[in-house]
Structure 1
Amino acid sequence: MDNTYITSQGDTWDMISYKVYGNEKYVDKLIQSNLLYKETIIFKANVELSIPEVQIIQQSSLPPWKRGIV
């Protein structure tokens, strides 16, 4: 089930991705779920967007040997 996000004036795809997922790399998934707005670069206020669920993988900055990965 998808959630929704209501834009603020000046929101961009990467800003929304960061606000919702904590990372800008999910922009493609946001756009695919909101094709009506795919050409939008800067959003006006109060646009309702569908926010798909994604599997967020947390990356560690530690090298593998310090994370216990062999």
Structure 2
Amino acid sequence: MTKTYTTVQGDTWDLIAYKLYGAETGAAALLDANPELSSIVVFPAGMELSVPEYTKPTADRLPPWRR
């Protein structure tokens, strides 16, 4: 079963990623799963996005300035 997320007015890719995954880094996974919406920067309310599985990178894989 595919998970979905319905946008609220003012959502952005990184904000949605933070809401769903607890990290803005998940925005790339969301974009990859929803390529037809990649031109949208700020979402209107009511758009449905596919939500893929995502695992936040561990601190040892992040560059030093992001740890």
TM-score normalized by the length of structure 1: 0.77
The higher radius of gyration belongs to 1
For structure 1, the 5+ residue unaligned runs are 60-70
What's the CA shift for 1:2?
A: 3.0
Deviation at 1:8, TM superposition (A): 0.1
Unaligned runs of 5+ in 2: 60-67
Task: Quote the residue 1:18 is aligned against.
Answer: 18
RMSD: 1.6
Distance 1:47 1:19, change over 3 A: same
Q: What is the SS of the residue equivalent to 2:8?
A: coil
Q: Percent identity?
A: 42
**TM-score (normalised: structure 2):** 0.80
Alpha-carbon distance, 1:56 to partner:
3.1
* Inter-partner Cα distance in structure 1 for 2:46 and 2:6: 5
Which structure shows the bigger proportion of residues in helix conformation? 2
